[in-house]
A = this chain, B = another copy of it.
Amino acid sequence: MPELRHDPFQRRWVIIATERTRRPQNYARGEQALPKGEFCPFCPGNESSTPPEIRSIREGSAANTPGWKLRVIPNKFPALRIEGDLDREGVGLFDRMNGVGAHEVIVETPDHNRHLADMTYGEVEKLVEAAGERLRDLYRDRRLKYVLIFKNHGEAAGASLAHPHTQIIGTPITPRTIATELDAAHAHFIAKERCLYCDVMAQELRDGARVVRSDALFVVLAPFASRFPFELMILPRRHSCTAGEMTPEERAGLARVLRDMLRRLKVALDDPPFNLMVHTSPNLDYEPVRPRHFETLRWDYHWHIEIIPRLTRVAGFEWGTGFYINPTPPEDAAEFLRRTDGTT
């Protein structure tokens, strides 16, 4: 009998197949076309084909020249633009506003073919630091209500350039996904004066069936109501609403767990396409129209990272209902990934 499971964070139901479940080897490998020889605007020597860098890690060389190890640049074709006023207006029954926001790219490495899963812990730590720095800096712009840090790996996951990169988009509204999580977490906090994520983490650590990895700083879960096969959630043990306030130890710890988990996925699922999203608090300094629950945000919300390998296709059922059919129970995914060695 298939099972319907409710996600307490997203208040979303998922159908978990319990018969004919699919093992990792049953997923067709995503076509990971990493076209070689084509012009890559992120490769060293092509710095002039991107907008001038916002920040880079380099030893001695001049900005916008080769010699860097990591580079932060504005997106050349931004989804939202940093200039301008919001200009909110109603149009009859409709509402619109100008597409004010930010869209940046972190080029993670000068090496076109260096997968995040194959980097050293030190290299991943530099990426974690750069992303945190951009998050804090963008939240100084009080027009921005939310900043999403995400990564698309592989063509099937929407990556249009193969060169390893992470994207950052700042938006003038709280995204629906985050608003739903904030509402659920707020309701839990008001009822119990405890964090929903801390409670789930404690319950999952006691149960164990869905714990993939845990150490003193981070816990990795295959979520109870996983929408996708091998979906993962990385939670910091220390309660904090924002990824922008990690300690140096947490940044180093996150680099280890991230590299380790991406390595395990790469080994177990033959380099699957994936999306990685950081779920963090809206801008605590946002000024216009502060929703009431901003006051308890620091207690309500618990930042985390979501990783979804793209092994199944989203089709009419998912679009029509907003819920998902997952052919691999998270307990099976967790067991399989626990047994996969991602440390070497």
Contacts and interface: CB of A to CB of B under 8 A. Distances in A.
A200 B92 CA distance: 9
Interface string A92-134: 1111111100000000000000000000000000000000000
Interface in A138-193: 146, 148, 150-152, 155-159, 167, 169, 171-173, 175-178, 180
B93 A315 contact: no
A36 interface: no
A199 B276 contact: no
Contacts of A277: 316, 319-320
A66 interface: no
Contacts of A155: 313
Contact of A173 (B13, B78, B158, B207): B13
A8 B225 CA distance: 29
B177 A320 contact: yes
A317 B148 contact: yes
A21 B209 CA distance: 48
Contacts of A203: 92-93
A75 to B, nearest CB: 11
Given A4-B96, A316-B157, A321 B175 contact: yes
A133 to B, nearest CB: 19
Contacts of A15: 79-80, 99
Contact of A316 (B178, B224, B276, B315): B276
Contact of A148 (B81, B157, B321): B321
A279 interface: yes
Given A3-B96, A99-B2, A177-B321, A275 B169 contact: no
B320 A148 contact: yes
B199 A315 contact: no
Interface string A299-332: 0000000101000011111011111010000000
Contacts of A29: none
B8 A199 contact: no
Contacts of A148: 316-317, 320-321
Interface of A: 1-6, 8, 11-13, 15-18, 20, 77-81, 84, 92-99, 146, 148, 150-152, 155-159, 167, 169, 171-173, 175-178, 180, 196, 199-200, 203, 207, 224-225, 275-279, 306, 308, 313-317, 319-323, 325
Given A79-B325, A148-B321, A277-B320, 10 more contacts: A2-B98, A3-B97, A93-B203, A152-B316, A157-B313, A175-B322, A177-B322, A275-B315, A275-B320, A277-B319
